[in-house]
Structure 1
Amino acid sequence: MEEDISQVNFVVQKVRTSRYVYEYKNVWDPVNKRSKPLYRIPVGKVIGDKIVLNDEYLQKRPNLKQGDIVLAGTKAVLASRLTQSIQDLFEFKEFLGNIVWVEDVDHFAMFYRKLGAEIKAAEDGLDIKLCGMRLRVMQRTSGPQPFEDSKPCSFYFDIATESNILALSCQLHAKGLHNELIEILIPGGEAVRAVLLKDPANNQIILKKQNYVR
């Protein structure tokens, strides 16, 4: 039975100023408790950004042709492995939320607590949930962060309230949530009033009254 070519391994080896590609297979040595080479076959040579296969190798692998083995960075791989769609590689299961790096986690959480957010302790920080929005809040340190700080963004909420927008703005001010009244365009091109707040990380929070009536 012909060996499944998708299971073949390749290695790129530099010899002086040239790079050569080899097919190889290792097996486990139970005596020495380590992997050892079973075989190593010359495949071709790296020329520019391409791999040119040897005629001898193509005779041994008649199911391959020029262009079927390509460079991916510094590695040699089957081109068919690179043409898989994202859906073939993995499936999205859950959005875990945005990560926000802040100087003062407690101060940031206090802002969202006033808005009625659900706040829970999480590994190295806090989880903040508000109407489907989830933020992981992490303490910024003086050392390097595992992720770059993201630029401020906007969170847009449709809200239900018995108050008009002006009264709501005043009530939020009274609770220490500084805000301003703005006008936004809704589908149809109509301009309506909304409340704009900014959290301690300078993210904009826009509150628009649901089923707005002028």
Structure 2
Amino acid sequence: MGSVFVIQADIVEADGRHILGANKPLYWKIDGPGKLVGPEEYISERENHEALFGTMYIDVPVSNVVRSTGHPGQIVVTVESPGIKHSSVSITVVDVPAIPNAGIVERPLNVHGRNTVQKDPKYKNELRNVIPLFKPIDHDLLLKGEDAAWRLSEILQELNPGIDPRGAAFGKLLSSLLQILENNKGQLVADDFNFVVDQLNNQKTEFE
């Protein structure tokens, strides 16, 4: 009975048609022998840039995960949003009899005294004060033409004053971003740029 379910929420018209780009806040709640594995609140991150935390929710549809607690019963998952009629879905969890298998004995788990895993209250996330090699950007770039490589190099040097344009790290960054530019016909999305930057910043010691 320790099952996992994926539930998708959408915002639709009265006739069931999907509303393109709808991104209102979504609030999930659950009743019965189940628990939400994902977050209870989904707030759109459409306008976020370089956020450290989030759900990656931009607009609907969006999914969440529900896990049963190992007990039979009715799980009811409800999603609410301001100004919109809420919706619920029911999941029936039942005991499944064991299928005999000669030579294999699988004893049922004893759920008595079992508790959910708790985070150690003494544990703390530590952010080290490390100066990154390269800085991220907060907007997309469009670089076309024969001078695209030169313009990109200029942008990187303006963004990171003091960086050695002849160094291995700069060369690796420039070549990786030029490959993305070529594949995307001159468009460099900020998320792609920052992904490459993060990779190189994590490898900082290799270039020192």
Report TM bin, short chain.
under 0.3
With a CA cutoff of 8 Å and minimum separation of 6, indicate the structure with the bigger relative contact order.
2
Structure number with higher helix proportion: 2
> What's the TM-score once normalised by structure 1's chain length?
0.24
Higher percent of residues as strand: 1
